[in-house]
Every structure is written in C-alpha cells, then in structure tokens.
Structure 1
Amino acid sequence: MKNSAQIMNLPIVSISDGAQIGTVKTLVINPEKGSIDFLTVEQEDVQLSLKAIPFKKVIGIGEFAVTVESCHDVIDLSEIPIANQLVNKQIRVKNTKAMTRKGQLLGEVTEFFVDEETGEIIGVELDVGDRQAVLSSQFVLTYGKDILVVSEDAPSSLLAEARLLVSAKEQDDEETVENAPQNEYVDERHSGGEMVMEEAESKKALQVLREKQMELLKGKRVTKDIVDKNGNTFIEAGTVLTEELIQKAQEEGPSVIVDISMNVEA
C-alpha cells in the first residue's frame, strides 16, 4: 500500500535500458472504478501533448522510483480517447470534502491510499475536526471533482490508522473469493489470462459501486432539477428515483450522480 504523496514526483525508470524517462506528474483517477488508471509523465524535453503510462504497465512502485519495462510504455494521451477523457474530468481525491448522501459533512480528505499492484484506491485519510481518521473505500459511493460522497454508516466506520486498511481489504478479498462463481476461475485459466481477469475485476468493482448507489438512492425524491452533462434538464424536481432513472444517471457520469446524491430526500 502506498499513499499518493509517495508516488507523486517519483522518477520513472525503464528497466530495459536503465534510463530515467521522466517523473510522475499526476495520478489519473477513474471515478467509476475507484482506481488509478494512468500516471502522467513529466519530461524535460518540450512536449506538444500530455504523456502517460497505463497503471497496468507499471512493474513496481518502490521507495525511489516507479519502474516500467521500456520507454515504449509511455503513450500520448491524444491517441487514447478514454485516457484523455479521464484527464479532462479532473477527478481528485485529496482536498475534496467527504459528505454523506444526506449532506452531513464528514471531513476533508487529506490523503488517499493505493494498492501499488492494482492501482485500486483502498481508502482515504480525513481531517475530522481535531483529529485524523481513515475510511475504507468500500464506504465511498462516488468520486467527484469536489465532493467525495460516502455512505451513511461511514462516520461510524472510521479507522484510527492507515495500516488497518490492509487487514480490512484482505478480509474483503477473502469473502469475494469465497463467494465468487466457479466460472470466473474457468475464464482465468482458459480464456485469456491476466487481461480477462483484469477486465472481470474492473467490471466487478464498477458493479459494486453502482449497486451501492442504487441501494441508497432508489425511492428517494429529487429536490431540484438535475441536468445532464450537456446542461439539459435530466430529472425534474419532485421526481421519485426509480432503478431506470438511477441507471441512466450512472451512464451520464459521476458528476450527475454527485448532484443527485446531494439533492434528494426520503
């Protein structure tokens, strides 16, 4: 487990030729998956476009450097639409306000923690009044540009230390393996190795997040007009949220879900 400060500004080293190819400039967050999908690269030469490394290409994140196989792992974001879209969303975790769906302010996020093997966000550190506390990512409903929406039981689920996140994640992983259908393991052995498993994990994380949002929003009444990403009225004030409406909102993107989460009542 690494916190974001331990990754930022690290040298990026190519193993194949033993050369530094840049430094970590920013961490690009995928709000749907709750993970770091790309590391943008700061290079000394003049750049006409932003460069990045897919997190899945990272071999290791050590104390002194991030390692990749070769300089060819650096991509031009203009050539990868999905990466460019994530950068333009400007989702951040640090310095956002953590707020429950009912509008209770939990605190301000001062740091977040990442699984250096997968890029998954494990949890966040919060400034809660006069103390620091840690919250597991399982209680995060939405990663927004300015607001981190958390579940109603988040205030009672705070941890005292970041190291407790690891044991909580291990327990959660064990439960996931125990409850997983057998055919998922068949896919891994017979249908494409790491890429198949990676895709399955991403879809599973997204599905879990959407189910949490569905559970907390279904049946609630919207208190103001909600607009879509194009600025058109998407859901009128007074509308009771159904599964269909919530699914459409999820497809519109995290900013719409954040807006809904902060403007509903029982």
Structure 2
Amino acid sequence: MKTSAQIIGLPIISIADGGQIGTVKLLIINPEKGSVDFLTIEQEDVAFGLKAIPFKKIVGIGEFAVTVEDDRAVIDLAEIPIANQLVNKQIRIKNTKAMTRKGELLGEVTEFFINDETGEIMGIHLQTEGRQAILSSEWVLTYGKDILIVSETAPGSLLDDASMLAEKIEAPIHEANEAEAETAAIEEIKEHNALKALREKQMELLQGKRVKKDILDLNGHILIKAGTILTAEHIVKAQTEGPSVMIDLSMNVDA
C-alpha cells in the first residue's frame, strides 16, 4: 500500500533496457471504480504531448521507482478516450472536503492510500476537528472534484492507523486462498469418487470373462495372457497400468 505522495515524482524505469522513461506527474482517478487507472508522465521533451501509463501495465511501485516492462506501456492520452475523460473530470482527492450525505462536514482530506498491486483506493487520511484519522474507502460514496461524499456512519468508523487498511488487503486474499483450497479439495474428492465408481463398473463387467489375446503392459511385456479367465487381481493390474491398457483389455474379451 502506498500514499499518493510516495508515488508522485518517482522515476519510471523500463525493465527491458534499464532506461528512465520519465517521472510520475499525476495520478488519474476513476471516480466510479474508486481507483487510480493511469499515471501521467513528465518528460523532458514536451513535444511528444501528454503521455500516461495504465495502472495495469505497472510491474511494481517501489521506494525508488515505478517499473514497467518497456516503453510500450506508455500511451498517448489523446488516443485513449476513457483516459481523456478521466483527466477532464479533474478528480483530486487530496485537499478536498469530506462531507456526509446529510451535509455534515467530516474534515479535510490530506492524503489517500492506494493498493499498489491493483490501483484500488484503500482509504483517505483526514484532518478532522481535533484529530487526524483514517477512513476506509468502503465508506466513500462519491469522489467529486471538490467534495468527497461519505456515508453518514463514517464519523463512527474512523481508524487511528493506516496499517488497519493494509489488513483489509490481506484478509480478502487469505479468504480467497482458503476458498480456492476448499474448491480444489471438493474437486479432488469428486474425481476420486468418479474413478472409484468407474473401476467398480469395470470390475463388474470384466470379471469372469476370457481374454482373447495377450494384453501388454506399458513397457510391452505380457500382463495378461490370451485365454486367461479374468479375476479381480487381473483387472486391478490392468487398471494400475492406466486407461490405454484397460481399453485394450475391454475390447479383447469374449462377450
């Protein structure tokens, strides 16, 4: 998680050649998504026009630089309508007033916090009457040009430390990992049960039948000789060898 001040002014480095593309000039806010969608670039040669990097093209935001794969991550804002629209909205979060939807002034926004992996705005830093506090973005209803509208319950939801916002990043990741593990376990059980049912069916259909030709294992050796009356042990051996051997066996028994 980074503050806007930790990102603005950082050099932008191309991983491909190690060269500096420019420096971060502005963070372009998408008010509908509550995220930073683009970083505009300050370059020495202004003749190239206003350039930006989509947040999704950023490899990393470190203490000393923003990194991208190469200079192809850079776009011309004039060629991207959505980027132009966001620039023209001029949404600025710092130095705006935070007001509840019922018109109560909560304080002045002095900074905001960004998930440096996704660009999502995690929360804002407020100077309220008598204290400084943090408000999670879940209570922000509208990112306006001059005013942030927050829920009327926001005053009772202020946090003392920005680290509590970072916990909100880690919790969903942990929950998602648990959900994925649970889903994988369920799928594994289903596959196991399906395989067990298939093998039981094969046993039922083949046991007691006579083999019409030699059945070879995966190494080309005779696994079951022609003329053998199949027992459970023979069928288990074939199942252990794999599907191709079982198909060969199933197609070469007396009806």
Bin for the TM-score computed over the shorter chain: 0.5 to 0.7
In structure 2, the CA distance between the partners of 1:75 and 1:99, relative to structure 1 (3 Å rule), is same
Task: Name the counterpart of 1:57.
Answer: 57
In structure 2, the CA distance between the partners of 1:176 and 1:98, relative to structure 1 (3 Å rule), is farther
Task: Name the counterpart of 2:92.
Answer: 92
* TM-score, normalization by structure 2: 0.68
What secondary structure is seen at the aligned counterpart in 1 of 2:107? strand
1:60-79 counterparts in 2 under 5 A? Answer: 60-79=60-79
Q: CA RMSD in A?
A: 2.0
- Shift of residue 168, structure 1, vs aligned partner: 3.0
- Shift of residue 166, structure 1, vs aligned partner: 1.2
Q: Deviations over 1:237-260 (max 9, x none)?
A: xxxxxxxxxxxxxxxxxxxxxxxx
Give the distance between the partners of 2:173 and 2:149, measured in 1 at CA: 23
Larger Rg: 2
Give the distance between the partners of 1:102 and 1:179, measured in 2 at CA: 39
1:228-247 counterparts in 2 under 5 A? Answer: none
Task: Name the counterpart of 1:129.
Answer: 129
Task: Name the counterpart of 1:234.
Answer: none
Task: Name the counterpart of 2:42.
Answer: 42
Task: Name the counterpart of 1:8.
Answer: 8
- Shift of residue 110, structure 1, vs aligned partner: 0.2
- Shift of residue 67, structure 1, vs aligned partner: 0.2
Task: Name the counterpart of 1:140.
Answer: 140
* TM-score, normalization by structure 1: 0.65
Give the partner amino acid of 1:16.
A
- Shift of residue 103, structure 1, vs aligned partner: 0.2
- Shift of residue 49, structure 1, vs aligned partner: 2.2
Task: Name the counterpart of 1:199.
Answer: none
Question: How many pairs were matched up?
Answer: 182
Give the partner amino acid of 1:8.
I
Give the partner amino acid of 2:45.
D
Q: How high is the sequence identity, in percent, across the aligned residues?
A: 70
Give the distance between the partners of 1:34 and 1:26, measured in 2 at CA: 16
Kindly indicate whether structure 1 or structure 2 has the higher relative contact order, using CA contacts under 8 Å at least 6 residues apart.
1
Give the distance between the partners of 1:67 and 1:170, measured in 2 at CA: 23
In structure 2, the CA distance between the partners of 1:45 and 1:4, relative to structure 1 (3 Å rule), is same
Give the distance between the partners of 1:81 and 1:26, measured in 2 at CA: 18
Q: Deviations over 1:81-107 (max 9, x none)?
A: 000100010001101100000000000
What secondary structure is seen at the aligned counterpart in 2 of 1:32? coil
- Shift of residue 167, structure 1, vs aligned partner: 1.2
Which 4+ runs in 1 deviate beyond 2 A? 46-49, 168-180
Give the distance between the partners of 1:21 and 1:171, measured in 2 at CA: 35
